[in-house]
Structure 1
Amino acid sequence: MIKPWFIPLEDVISFPYTVYAHTRAGKDRETLQEHTKLCESYLTKILSERNIEQPFLKIARMFGLDSEEKSLELYFEMLFQVITFHDVGKINPCFQSDKMGNADPKEFAIQGLKGSAHSLLSAVIYLNHFMQKINSIEISKLQKRQLSIFCLINGFVISRHHSNLGSIKEFLVKFSDNGDVGTILQGMTLKHDFMKDPIYNMIGGLYLKKWKNFRENLNEEGSIAVYTYTRFLYSLLVSCDYYATSEYGNGVSVNAFGNDSEIYKFAESYEGTDLLKGIREYETGVSQPKGINKLRCDIFLEAEKSLRSNLDKNIYFLEAPTGSGKSNVSMNLSFQLLKAGLQKIYYVYPFNTLVDQNLETLKDIFGKDSAIFNKIAVLNSNTPIKQEIRHKDESEGEDEIYTQALLDRQFLNYPFVLTTHVSLFETMFGDERESAFGFSQLQDSIVVLDEIQSYKNKIWSEIITFLKIFASLLNMKIIIMSATLPDLSYLTSNSVGVAKLLQNRDRYFTNPQFKSRVNISYELLGQEINLEMLADYIAGQDIKKNKIAVEFIKKSRAYEFADMLAEDERITAPIYFISGDDNRVDRAERLKIIKENSEKGLILIATQVIEAGVDIDMDIGYKDISKLDSEEQFLGRINRSCKRSGKVYFFNLDDASRIYSDGDYRMNKELTLVNEDMQLILNNKDFSPYYNTVMEHLKESYNCSYNDDENLKKFFNALVGGLDFTSTAKRMKLIEDSDWDMPIYLARDLIVDGEKISGMEVWEEYKKLLKDQMMPYAKKQVCLSNVRSKLNYFIYQIKKTSTIEFNDMIGELHCISNGERYFKEGRLDKKSLEEGGSMFLDM
């Protein structure tokens, strides 16, 4: 650990009067010095628990700042003083007068500042101090140029610590001839004389020129290193600032920052399960499992052995057949990495459904030991803020408990996290202030990414490039797993730091236990099929014994077919429906029925939501074709247990290229099952020719495009290395916002875990909380998270062109009090909604 040191504010600033940082009713005002020292103490605490200096040291070495001892010392001094200087701009007389009620300041305006603003002034004072120090130190010109760049970045971070990250260019423009900084410096020199340092010449566009010259010489690795440095430092600054402000306001002292000295107990508990004992007995020759269980054990042990042989790598690819127990394998790999010194675990899934499903799996494993299970936190919109993550001090009051819970959630202070790809990408790339709060928590972590190929392949190159360099700088180990896994390292300049955990994947994929688990029929592809014909085919099956899944790529088509079968006298088996419209309670209940009903026949009609990892085991499947990846995922829902025989019929009803509107190259006709070559690939389970074609196209499209919005090198150089966080966030967004939909709240009564929940009562509780101006902030946010998790049971998306009548509205959320009339037999009745003037989105 590098011990931080801090400059006394009095050595930099003259204090002609008492300067306050915060005020709160019923408490003495907090001085700037008091707040600063508290922030500094939090940085010291975080440094003592987590080796946060390591990423900064790696980046310093990348830019040669370790070649001279004085350079490295000043590099860390500037880094630590970001905490010291971040609020020094609160000397602004307008801030003191308007925000702190301080009557001492005699002058009330500093030209160039907007009223009581202080962050830009803090950055100016910081730069004024350290640019002079850089110029006076005896080091080479190259070292001075590099240090001045990091000094600029630090100033930018200070200037944004109360706002979204935006772009550094917006900050540097303020230093031009006509920018705000020159006016600020002139005003301070003439009127206020706060700064003890002489005024350093910062204007004239020099900083913009320096930044442009630096940025233009960055490669991809350097660009992401600068991006990582900035985001990591921003995360640390706002963490220390928040912790200190909360301690002043609520008396809550934070002493745990996400690491857990007993996280090794996850591995100990896991090894004690019957499943692991059985695998270890097989490993030592004590027992001999049969059939598919033997293959699962082999995959488990080969992946474990391969991991141990490649601990120097950062990215691990786990490509294993559907039904081979990838979740179990990845869990073991995570715990093995804990033994190697990693500190945190993130399990990341495409959908909230899978987060909930895997939480249940973890509950089965660790639920008997509440001390271990309570360390697991779920981060998504469906789950309230966790309050039992740590041991409660009996002396704590209600406010302290709520404050700690909120801080833990905002800054991801958990040792074991389950979340979604969208949530993780917000932490990595979102430009909103709250998005970056938890970025520093990625250090020393294990990240398991499930089904990453589910998202648009337009940004596969960006994803793998970021992940490789994040992992290297932040000491992360990333496990990427799927049954259809492209070798994403092909899209980067090299495959250094990457390991495949199953060297001979064909040994498993071509084994009859997996390859022949499902018989595939393409007979319907040659026909112009319609819903009536599809109903005839299903009616011809033995529906009394078989569980049949039918997947459509268009949601409205699934609704239409479900209504058709419900009226078909030939269909005597129960019909279940699952789509993106379902709330998690209804979906979980249907999945439970389907999973537990192993003997009787049933029919499941669904959209793509059942593809990735949903734990159902059907006998017969019918699917409208889309991406080849999706076809294999669907096959994974058929004869999953390998106890019977399974069959899947593919048909071509709707044009998938019109459904997937993100320009995904995989939707080109020659890469779908219309092409017999793709049928052969799906039959043989060798997806490499398919992915090679896709990735060649991606490489070509990026390299041939000279448009800044498309060209990969320009993206990393101009936007990522240029610290344009807004544009980077836009490019790396996994799911685009729709301009055509609106949320609607269908209030009705539900039974959740045996408890009756009234949709209107939840709605009224939400309104009451929003209006409550007296409740302490932390308590209000925790209570709102509890209510919002219940709100999700009743929220659906409809087209904005809807003319449906509603009873109440909060923001853009429209409430219908008698929502039950839009449901039939527990399923959303789309027809009645249409008759009411509303059309649901196709997904």
Structure 2
Amino acid sequence: MTYYAHSGNESSKTDWQPLRDHLLGVAERAASVGQKLGLERAAYIAGLLHDLGKYSPEFQRRLEGANIAVEHSTAGAKVLLERARGPDRAIAELIAYCILGHHAGLPDRQNETDACYDRRLARPINIDPVWEQELPIDLSGLVPELIGRFPRNPEIAGFSCSVLVRMLFSCLVDADRRDAEAHDVSLGHIEADRNWTPLPELLDTFLARFDAHMAALAARSGALTEIRRQVLTHVRSKAKNQTGFFTLTVPTGGGKTLASLGFALDHARAHGLQRIIYAIPFTSIIDQTAEIFRNVLGDEHVLEHHSAIEEERFEYEQRRDRMKLAMEDWTAPVVVTTHVQLFESLYSARPSRARKLHNIAHSVIVLDEAQTLPRHLLQPIMRMLEELVRNYKVTVVLCTATQPALGSNKLEGGLPLADDCELAPNPRELAARLARTYIRHAGSMRNADLVESLAGETQALVIVNSRRHALDLYQEAQTAGLDGLIHLTTRQCTAHRRLILDDIRIRLKEGKPCRLIATSLIEAGVDVDFPKAWRAEAGLDQIVQAAGRVNREGKRPRDGSIVTVFAAPDYPPPVEIRDLIGDMKRIIDRHDDLLSPEALEAYFSEVYWRMGDGLDVSVVE
């Protein structure tokens, strides 16, 4: 009897996929992608046994159209654990998680359901022993070398094992999906364009285009252009440093986006890295960053992946399919995504999200606006980043104007940041040279006060802490007859916000009235340049980011470029922001310049000290 993995179009079964072919094909694909991770043998066995349960007459009847449910993911895991011996037995237990979860997701070891690891493996299986004649199985040599690099601390080593399982799971899921996809393509059911030129083959072209782009920018005159040139030169000079953690602390307007891209390109070439992943906190700024990268590197080489991406933005059907497929596995050489997408994938048990993990290895990850990493998840985020750097040849760049104090010398359990990890030239001096605003505190201001202040300015920005406050203030300003009013909050959809931001930039450039009332979505990285701003009390990092939207290009006198911080008595801030205001007030008297790196470091130290175990929500819960 011939056993099949997938059906076809012909009742004669001439175009059905033999199960042996599928298992060997998945094993070879999984081993190929697992090789760079040091997981080649384990990945091969995972692929070879993942669908062993299809060697059953019941499953074959299901392929023929019988309306029966047949669970086929347990048999391979059970056979593996029954036959593995010695040190390989421990690795077999990890492989078994991947086999059990390759459709439904990684299972818990134990829980109250029948879907958990232990209960599934306790079930009897009934498969045709003919599989042993069709599949060459050798369960020796499964222990990966990287296990020898795991820390001796049992807790950390346990976490390392969990990441190893996720990487192995990614190899298996991607190989399984690709093999099944290839069969569907052969049947004419789908078309699948996954052809992306690998980053190493593109680096000469990318660097030539990047250098040409930067040369054109450098041709502009001005002190700010010279500062940006110096920053870029210094950042790129460190690209040959060993893979690991880096910080890039550059005030708003100092050119950190392009500087970080230049470093990533040079660093990838120096160390043979396979991908650049640029992670951004908000969809409100992901568009502008992706557009910059497309302009520099070429539209066809950049994947933009986030929850709000709309299919209609892809101009051609062929390109739309290619982009959708690349969102599944991140095979593109340059990926622009969100913090949420990145870290949810790294911790997900779902096959669809975990599939891309093996392509995160051997990459440069730039975490833009690093200060926005969710603080209640900061400990697990840092542990994952440390594991990627330690065992999967990843470089992480913490890129921001307001660098959080995440080093282990500042934060218990923090990142192992080396003394020379900073890429920017002298951040303290750079902050002083790029200071283009002053922060002033005005005490309490009600909406009538803010409307009066806006009336005295043709172009101005007000940032508040809630959508309700933004809407109320906008409506009061409308009633007062102010022109050029614009309202921007997360109540608007992504496409609408994009149009609003385009209109704002045009108004600012042409000198037209532009009075923007917004929530905090405007302040982190959005490329706008207002003469003045008012910011409701918040954490110091948010206030400094708001200041980055004022006199951004340094074309106005600093004395007149004021960011006014105010208390809003009618709109109490949320608890989290109220606590951050308290953190700021505890350090404010100790620092004359709140824009300085020292002030920000002291502020973040206060935040992390106050939160304590709150940096890991699982500890609190």
Q: Is 1:40–2:22 an aligned residue pair?
A: no
1:608 equivalent in structure 2? 520
Report the CA distance shift for 1:533/1:403 in structure 2 as closer, same or farther (over 3 A): closer
Which of these residues, 34, 41, 58, is aligned with residue 94 of structure 1? Answer: 58
Instruction: Note closer, same or farther for the CA distance 1:380–1:493 as it changes in structure 2 (3 Å cut).
Output: closer
* Mapped partners of 1:257, 1:165: distance in 2: 29
Quote the offset at 1:406 in angstroms.
Answer: 4.7
Q: State the 1:386 CA deviation.
A: 10
The answer to whether the 8 A contact 1:377-1:416 is kept is: yes
Pair 1:278–1:610, CA change in 2 (3 A): closer
Alignment pair present for 1:126 and 2:104: no
CA–CA separation in structure 1 for the residues paired with 2:519 and 2:117: 54
Deviation at 1:621, TM superposition (A): 0.7
2:563 alignment partner, SS class:
strand
| TM-aligned CA distance change 1:485 to 1:469, over 3 Å | same
Which consecutive unaligned segments of at least 5 residues does structure 2 have? 134-149
Identity %: 20
Partner residue, 2:182: 247
Equivalent of 2:49, from 75, 85, 94? Answer: 85
Which residue pairs with 1:376 in the alignment? Answer: 302
| Alignment check: 8 A CA contact 1:671 1:678 kept | no
Aligned to 2:164: 229
1:55 equivalent to 2:42? Answer: no
Alignment of 1:437-448 (within 5 A): 437-448=355-366
Q: Could you report, residue by residue, the CA deviation over 1:630-681 in whole angstroms, capped at 9, with x for unpaired residues?
A: 00000000011111131111111159885255xx7x8244313587427745
Contact 1:123 1:158 in 2 (8 A): yes
AA partner of residue 48 (structure 2):
T
The structure 1 residue matched to 2:603, chosen from 662, 669, 690, is 690
Could you tell me which residue of structure 2 aligns to residue 431 of structure 1?
349
Compared CA separation, residues 356 and 195, structure 1 to 2 (3 A): closer
Structure 1 506/649 Cα, relative in aligned 2: closer, same or farther at 3 Å?
Answer: same
Classify 1:183/1:223 alpha carbon distance in 2 versus 1 (closer, same or farther; 3 Å): closer
Contact (CA 8 Å) 1:318, 1:500: kept in 2 or not? yes
Cα distance, 1:387–1:259 mapped onto 2, change above 3 Å:
farther
Distance 1:678 1:119, change over 3 A: farther
**1:659 is the counterpart of 2:581:** no
Give the letter aligned to residue 210 of structure 2: Y
CA distance in 2, matches of 1:536, 1:77: 70
The alignment status of 1:552 with 2:484, answered yes or no, reads no
How many angstroms apart in 1 are the aligned matches of 2:151 and 2:554? 56
> Following the alignment from structure 1 to structure 2, what is the Cα–Cα distance between the partners of residues 291 and 358?
24
Which of 456, 473, 476 lines up with 1:561 in the alignment? 473
Taking a change above 3 Å as real, the CA distance of residues 181 and 377 of structure 1, as seen in their structure-2 partners, is closer
Identify which range, 619-628 or 667-676, moves more after superposition.
667-676
Does the Cα contact within 8 Å between 1:681 and 1:690 map onto a contact in 2? no
Partners in 1 of 2:541 and 2:548 — Cα distance?
11
Alpha-carbon displacement from aligned partner over 1:681-722 (angstroms, at most 9, x marks no partner): 515453121122223345x4379x9xx9317xxxxxxxxxxx
Q: Which runs of 5+ in 1 are unaligned?
A: 1-16, 58-75, 103-107, 109-113, 135-143, 198-214, 280-286, 367-371, 393-397, 712-730, 732-843
Partner of residue 635, structure 1: 547
Which structure would you say has the larger Rg? 1
Measured after TM superposition, the shift of residue 87 of structure 1 is 0.8
Structure 1's 386 and 419: CA in aligned 2 closer, same or farther, altered over 3 A?
A: farther
* Secondary structure, aligned partner of 2:364: strand
Partner of residue 336, structure 1? 266
Alignment of 1:29 with 2:11, yes or no, is no
Distance 1:401 1:373 in 2: 11
Structure 2 counterpart of 1:647: 562
> Amino acid of the residue matched to residue 63 of structure 2?
K
Counterpart residue identity of residue 710, structure 1: V
Aligned partner of 1:165 in structure 2 is 106
For 1:386 and 1:591, how far apart are their aligned partners in 2? Answer: 20
Match 1:322 to one of 252, 262, 266: 252
**Quick check: 1:593 aligned with 2:523?**
no
Contact 2:488 2:519 in 1 (8 A): yes
- 8 Å contact from structure 1 (residues 554, 654) kept in 2: no
Q: Number of aligned residue pairs: give it.
A: 585
Q: SS state of the match for residue 404, structure 2?
A: coil
Determine the C-alpha separation between the residues in 2 that align with 1:181 and 1:338.
43
Q: How many Å apart are 1:553 and its aligned residue?
A: 0.5
Q: Tell me how far apart the structure 2 counterparts of residues 312 and 115 of structure 1 sit (CA, whole Å).
A: 52
Q: Does the CA contact (< 8 Å) of 2:232 and 2:259 recur in 1?
A: yes
Q: Are residue 625 (structure 1) and residue 546 (structure 2) matched? A: no
Q: CA deviation at 1:249?
A: 1.9
User: Which aligned pairs between 1:132-211 and structure 2 lie closer than 5 A?
Assistant: 134=85, 144=86, 146-169=87-110, 179=119, 181-184=121-124
- What pairs up with 1:216-615 in 2 under 5 angstroms? 219-251=154-186, 256=195, 259-264=198-203, 265-273=205-213, 275-276=214-215, 290-308=222-240, 311-340=241-270, 341-366=272-297, 372-384=298-310, 406-490=324-408, 491=411, 492=413, 495=416, 499-502=421-424, 504-511=426-433, 514-515=434-435, 517-522=436-441, 524-525=442-443, 527=444, 529-539=445-455, 541=456, 543=457, 546-569=458-481, 571=482, 573-597=483-507, 598=509, 599-615=511-527
Amino acid at match of 2:265: F
User: What RMSD in Å do the two structures reach over aligned CA positions?
Assistant: 3.5
Could you say what secondary structure the match of 2:384 adopts?
A: helix
For residue 534 of structure 1, report the CA deviation from its aligned partner: 2.1
Q: Normalised by the size of structure 1, how large is the TM-score?
A: 0.63
Change (3 A) 1:655 1:429: farther
Q: Is the 8 A contact 2:451 2:477 kept in 1?
A: yes
- 1:306 aligned partner, one-letter code: K
Residues of 1 paired with 2:541 and 2:439: CA distance? 15
* 1:563 Cα deviation after fit: 0.9
State whether residues 53 and 76 of structure 2, in contact with CA within 8 Å, keep that contact through their aligned partners in structure 1. yes
CA gap of 1:385–1:232, structure 2 versus 1, over 3 A, is farther
Asked if the contact 1:124/1:181 (under 8 Å) is kept, the reply is: yes
Q: d(CA) in 2 for partners of 1:497 and 1:354?
A: 30
- Report the AA paired with residue 551 of structure 1: I
User: Is the CA contact (8 Å cut-off) linking 1:626 and 1:656 kept in structure 2?
Assistant: no
SS of corresponding position for 1:167: coil
Do the aligned partners of 1:221 and 1:469 also contact (CA within 8 Å) in 2? no
Q: Aligned pair in 2 of structure 1 residues 405, 152: CA closer, same or farther (>3 Å)?
A: same
Counterparts of 1:360 and 1:175, CA distance in 2: 45
Question: Is the Cα contact below 8 Å between 1:428 and 1:439 reproduced in 2?
Answer: yes
Distance 1:403 1:458, change over 3 A: closer
CA drift at 1:316: 0.9
Q: Deviations over 1:141-172 (max 9, x none)?
A: xxx3x422111111121111111223234599
- Contact 2:109 2:117 (C-alpha < 8 Å) held by counterparts: no
Q: 1:268 to 1:196 in 2, by over 3 A?
A: closer
Decide whether aligned partners of structure 1 residues 88 and 658 sit closer, same or farther in structure 2, where only a CA change above 3 A counts.
Answer: same
Q: Relative to structure 2, which stretch is displaced further, 430-439 or 495-504?
A: 495-504
> AA paired with 1:244?
D
> Given that residues 89 and 125 in structure 1 are in contact (C-alpha distance below 8 angstroms), is that contact kept between their aligned partners in structure 2?
no
CA contact (8 A) 2:370 2:398 kept: yes
Query: Residues 412, 121 of structure 1: CA spacing in aligned structure 2 closer, same or farther, 3 A cutoff?
Result: same
Query: For residue 142 of structure 2, what is the aligned residue in structure 1?
Result: none
- Find the residue that maps to 2:253 and give its secondary structure: coil
- Where 2:5 maps in the other structure, the secondary structure is strand
The alignment partner of 2:38 has SS state of helix
